[in-house]
Chain A
Amino acid sequence: MQKWFKGPRMLTGPGGLFAAVALIVALGACYPGDISSVEETDVVLTIHGGNDFSGFNTYAMPDTIVDVCTNVDDPECENAIDIDHSYDDEILAQVAARMQGYGYVRIPIDQVDENNLPDLFMILSVSAVERTSATVWWPWWGWGGWWPGWGPGWGPGYPPAVSVTRWNQGTLEMTLIDPTDTDPDQEIFNVQWDAILSGVLSRAESPIDTDRIDRGIQQAFDQSTYLGTN
């Protein structure tokens, strides 16, 4: 019987043409899909560590959003961008409303002292530098004098399944800390909840899209319904 099928003809006959087209189509499209706008890079990550929030009833929150890089001489802040704080009040009001919605009673920050501690502190911060999960650091200074010794060098742990490689400049972070078992001098913070909104306060986008900020804050609380178990 004649052998029609031969290697070289595989590349030149009609079957070969089909095979070549199929090969190109298949191999040329390994990872299709793309991000087409800056909004599509927004990420809301909330970490709760399986914590039980049923015992928490009160919280205190500073009246400002803390900027990570205020000292331009700090090498860590060499590439820091300007952070737009004109929306701080709006953001803080949104957070307060959502905390109230989950049943928490806010204690004014100026009434907080060692004898009148809330169950939780809500700290909002924004990072002016790009950062990775390995170098998450918080600016625990300058917001009212309590725990004045806070400084960089500590951050929340990420679950093993989360492979965070980079957070954009202008990332907003909301953190709930239980003052119990917290020792700022030892850089030990009892974090109960952490929410990260990537890049929403960057000045790279001008003017800032407040819808992105609103959406991120609402999403962080929407996906954290366990906060409402108190």
Chain B
Amino acid sequence: MKAIKGIIASLALLLVFTGEAQAQDWWWGITYNMSATSSLPGNSDSDTNFIEDYSFRGLGIEARYVPSRDAGYSFGFNVGWNVLNEKNDFGTERNTISLPEADITGTQLRYFNTVPLLANASYYFGDRGGIRPYVGVNAGTYYIERRVDVGVSAVVDDAWHFGWAPEVGLVVPLGRPEVALLTTIRYNWAFSSGGSGDQKFWGFNIGIAYR
């Protein structure tokens, strides 16, 4: 996990300084990411119920290229880190893990860490300089690690997944045209990979975008 921290921190710094050189055409943003799984519609199978709680831990970086001043669309990419966690006490319904040849019961600490690396295309409604709702679609890869700590034991799986994420959001100017509030609701759907089933989670991101 230290490696992931390092990668994200380095990438954030790289984007900060790259952003200055590209300021005419690119919007750069940093977002605070919140996540949720099966507490919301869309997650019905066991894999997506791995965590049944909200999370207020996460970070995202957005880059969007607007081809011209009047363009109502953008292309770009984003990278994020979403963490979900849950504690299941001994004796509760979800605290036995069944494996092909064994079963483990105990107080569980469950962790879901994901790093999405996605390309993005968005279409913006409204007029330039005003509040602009938008719709977008993301596609790319997700690194997902699922971990369950039980006592001194741990069951871990991790894999790279292809996936996509439709999103809706709002861009709100903050007094000057070069800076805006960026809010996004994104439904992340990572396809099954490496023995892990489809992974789905909602992302609620809020941050600042610059150009």
Complex Cα–Cα for A49 and B109 (A): 26
- Are A43's CB and B151's CB within 8 A? yes
**A-contacting 9-mer, from B70-78, B186-194, B203-211:** B203-211
- A158 at interface, CB cutoff 8 A: yes
Do A23 and B101 contact each other (CB < 8 Å), given the known contacts A1-B24, A4-B178? Answer: no
Interface of B, helix, strand, loop or mixed by DSSP: strand
Do A18 and B90 contact each other (CB < 8 Å), given the known contacts A162-B155, A219-B105? Answer: no
Do A43 and B152 contact each other (CB < 8 Å), given the known contacts A5-B211, A26-B58, A159-B100? Answer: yes
- A48 at interface, CB cutoff 8 A: yes
Interface range for B: 35 or more
Interface range for A: 35 or more
A31 cross-chain contacts in B, Cβ below 8 A: 1, 85, 111
Complex Cα–Cα for A162 and B179 (A): 50
**B-contacting 9-mer, from A33-41, A79-87, A145-153:** A33-41
- A45 at interface, CB cutoff 8 A: yes
- A27 at interface, CB cutoff 8 A: yes
B99 cross-chain contacts in A, Cβ below 8 A: 159, 161-162
Complex Cα–Cα for A223 and B101 (A): 12
Q: Give residues in B with beta carbon < 8 Å to A.
A: 1, 5, 8-9, 12, 16-17, 19-20, 23-24, 28, 30-33, 56-59, 81, 83, 85-87, 89-91, 96, 98-107, 109, 111, 113, 150-156, 176, 178-179, 207-208, 210-211
